[in-house]
Amino acid sequence: MAHARARRNPADGRAPVRRAAATVGVVFLLVGLLGFVPGITTDFGDLRFAGHGSGAKLLGVFQVSVLHNAVHLAFGLAGLALSRTWDGARTFLIGGGAIYLVLWLYGLVVDHGSGANFIPVNNADNWLHLVLGAGMIALGVLTTRDRRPR
């Protein structure tokens, strides 16, 4: 009778931090692309390059602009590129998480109706940035706490 431990894991040989970074990278790419899809992004006709005047909302909740979507795409590409090494993957998750926590703080202090809200962000984005930042940092720490790169 085969034991569960005897089954080959298709992810064997790839560090968990690398899988986590690649997964987060793919999610960011998908979100960035979906931000350009009418219907998934409501009020698509109000999509602007940047600024608080962009009325488009991903899933009808998260305010987006071309710049905001481009940032998601760039984070996705960075995640995939950096997931190729243990150190790169860890840097992406922890460093990217820190960037998202800074973005969360920015969203808390910026007047959402002002020109300073150039990304743009709304309250839903703020909560998502907090969860993303904390989650990415947690993934970076928890998937690398037991060993150094091979």
**Domain membership flag for residue 78:** yes
Residue 102, both tokens: 């800074």
**Omega cis (within 30) before 120:** yes
pLDDT average, residue stretch 139-148: 86
Nearest to 93 by CA among 140, 130, 132, 134: 140
In angstroms, rounded to a whole number, what is the distance separating the alpha carbons of residues 90 and 88?
5
Assigned domain for 149 exists: no
Interhelix angle 123-142/16-34, nearest 10 degrees: 160
Cα distance between residue 118 and residue 113, in whole Å:
10
Beta-carbon contacts of 100 under 8 Å, excluding residues fewer than 6 positions away, are 129, 130, 132, 133, 136
Find the mean pLDDT for residues 62-74.
Answer: 95
Domain limits at 103?
14-141
SS3 label, residue 41: strand
- Would you say the pTM of this structure is higher than 0.75? yes
**91 within domain boundaries:** yes
44 belongs to a structural domain: yes
* Residue 7 in domain: no
Report the domain count for the chain.
1
Percent of the chain exceeding pLDDT 70 equals 89
Look-up of token digits 């984005």: 125
The pLDDT of residue 6: 43
Average pLDDT over residues 90-101: 97
